[in-house]
């Protein structure tokens, strides 16, 4: 999986790369507009899966994920206000490590009508991440030596170091929403390549799927 599977539209996982993504969100704790480019995440391939549960009756499921460490690098342009008092405006590079991440994922899919070949496909329509990051350390860096960006980076770094747990708790819902959007798109790319009938051959052959058909581990 680390190198990806092009036939199934699974991208390489080490590193997991995103050319560009944007965030535009307001909450009581954080207003942020940011663009990240050259985002790279190392450690995705070391994920440990547990508590897998798939219900073929309503096409819902859940799984727990665990990562020891995720190393993140990205270029950023940011305009944000943290906790209504800390302005965060500037651009530069971020390097960080997230430690001991636990995530519970739930989702629900729908089944498409059969096509001319008699195949139907799953489409993920709902996904929810609920995660906890035990700790995270990182640095905003100004590679351009721009005085304003340098001051912003130093101020943000100092504030985070002094309020690490609180800031991390504020950022976690943003990270969850980002992952939900990302995984929804990626999962549907993958699901579009494999007919439902080939995923669960034994279960599908037992028509109809009316009573509980659970797959657990």
**Interval 120-166: pLDDT, tens:** 999 999 999 999 999 999 999 988 888 888 888 998 899 899 999 99
Long-range Cβ contact pairs of 110-119 (< 8 A, separation 24 or more): 110/59, 111/59, 111/196, 118/197, 119/195, 119/196, 119/197
**Interval 84-120: pLDDT, tens:** 777 788 899 999 999 999 999 999 999 999 888 888 9
Degrees, nearest 5: CA angle 203-207-213: 45
How many Å is the Cα radius of gyration of the chain?
A: 20
- When mean pLDDT is compared across 25-34, 66-75, 158-167, the lowest value belongs to 25-34
Please tell me whether the overall predicted TM-score, pTM, comes out greater than 0.85 for this model. Answer: no
| Nearest CA-CA partner of 38 in 108, 113, 103, 91 | 91
Domains of the chain, first to last: 6-216 (3.15.10.30)
- For residue 59, is pLDDT > 90? yes
* 31 contact partners, CB below 8 Å, separation of at least 6: 25, 80, 81
């Amino acid at each position: 999986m680390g190198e990806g599977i092009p036939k199934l539209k699974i991208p390489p996982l080490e590193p997991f790369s995103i050319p560009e993504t944007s965030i535009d969100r307001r909450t009581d704790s954080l207003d942020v507009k940011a663009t990240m480019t050259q985002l790279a995440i190392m450690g995705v391939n070391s994920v440990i899966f547990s508590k897998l549960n798939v219900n073929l009756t309503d096409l819902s499921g859940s799984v727990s994920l665990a990562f020891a460490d995720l190393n993140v690098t990205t270029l950023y342009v940011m305009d944000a206000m943290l906790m209504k008092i800390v302005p965060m405006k500037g651009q530069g590079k971020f390097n960080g490590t997230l430690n001991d991440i636990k995530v519970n994922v739930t989702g629900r899919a729908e089944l498409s009508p059969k096509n001319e070949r008699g195949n139907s496909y799953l489409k993920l329509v709902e996904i929810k991440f609920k995660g906890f990051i035990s700790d995270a350390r990182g640095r905003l860096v100004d590679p351009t030596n721009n005085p304003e960006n340098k001051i912003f980076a130093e101020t943000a770094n100092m504030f985070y170091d002094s309020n690490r747990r609180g800031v991390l708790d504020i950022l976690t819902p943003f990270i969850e929403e980002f992952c939900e959007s990302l995984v929804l798109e990626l999962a549907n790319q993958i699901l579009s390549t494999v007919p439902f009938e080939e995923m669960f051959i034994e279960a599908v052959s037992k028509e109809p799927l009316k009573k509980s058909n659970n797959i657990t581990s």
